[in-house]
Structure 1
């Protein structure tokens, strides 16, 4: 892709300072950019690096543009401009509407117009594939499952039976949607498996990262609402509901029958126990453990921050003594008051 700086300015309605004819051939980071690259200044603290960059131009906020040594485009939100502009330079292969000869498509499946189905993919009986969707090599679409329009299923994704995807859903390689929830009832020293008879429902414009697992429900569906973004290696338990436009970072584990509200931000490696509710607009910072419902929006954290090992060892000894210390303080306060 080659565009002039002026064409980019016009397409994204960005004020330009510099030569409109400058040719832009790619985007890059400030420190690794070369001739023809467009870069982005996300933080004022990195402004000094523009003096040494070889980039042809930069997207920058007006407050950071004074004395800028290279041509620039003004944006109030450089990160958002980056997200919108990067689509023009995305080298991801464009899939043609073809069905590979090794793909197995059941005669009772329904496949829409413009669909691409890769090598050794399986589309089971009663499955529905919407228009313009892509089913990657080795992926499995289970019986009665539905894939909406414009979806992208990367290679080696598994959709069990009765999984329903909305439109424009993206699922990355290794993800498993609709496996049995972890449901067992103890009985006389053993465990009786509880059949997981419900499904998984995923809304429009959801993205699911590589090797993420979303379990099916036992008495109610597991629901991922519209606009949710889920990182790699996330576990979502049975009958959980994730509210719209929530984002969940990698290695987080969410136990079953939990409800997370809309527009929440869940950091990496967070643990969330079962049968609790988290309201809208809650941020949980990385490696926190959520053990009770959260009823007020805001930012929540648990655990201890990073410190030197020897300091942590000393502090953990004190932590173990907190209960007795509290008792001593209360006793001293009682004696003082008397």
Structure 2
């Protein structure tokens, strides 16, 4: 089932100029000195392509064209993508970070797996082909997780001639599994010795890997690691993510603040992957609890999302809400809103390891 969702895009449009999506805001006003990142423009591209697929219209197509154009401009002469562009239109890095490559590949997979105009899909494939040599060298676990998600999305939608990406994604899945088995400890079934940011993308990637390669033990890793993350980020039935002030190292106390919107968004997406994999209702509860963080069901009982304009504040400090409404935060909220509105009322039968392409939204 593919439910059309209408999201408020006013703040995203305010943060976007002819070059692309500006990174930070001062309150609700774009902070031009912060420039642009490929990370944010890739996230925006993915969102707009998904929304266009549900309700094709010219305005959404224009947004997608802007963000795809940014990725084309970001391609590095050597390989991969730049990440940081100044407001004066100068690249500030010699080559992008690992996470940037993964986010870009995930967004390009969204385009290539869509029914967007041929030129959009042709450019997405060209950019994917160009970045391929850089993907095998990725060391960031999260970047590798995004590559697994990207391949799974293309596989689910029957995109052909993606064997190089399949090989890279399979090796990435094996590396994540190896890290999980090597780093897990009693009462610590996790991929790293500390939990940091966007934690849920790791079990999410394992759910996706289990769909593609069901006999490799990836599903057990996904279920166990996401269950552990849910345990350490739930207090009194409220989503309480790892704070980025000091993270959460094994054997130490969890950092309670500063809580970031990306944690709630990625948790909702991982919960959806679990729901699609098993049909277990605990994942629906997990998804809605993560979404609730945006609308005041959090440790401070304060909403971060500004619903009429689709904006989101940048996080929760111990003293209150960070009132700046940057790109990453806004996109995290809009993606969580998309997941919640599309799937919270949809019954998904328990059909392990079988994917129906028309229901995919969290990959």
The structure carrying a bigger helix percent of its residues is: 2
The structure carrying a bigger strand percent of its residues is: 1
Structure number with the bigger relative contact order (C-alpha 8 A, sep ≥ 6) is 2
Asked if TM exceeds 0.5, the reply is no
Structure with the greater alpha carbon radius of gyration:
1
> Structure 2 length as normaliser, TM-score?
0.22
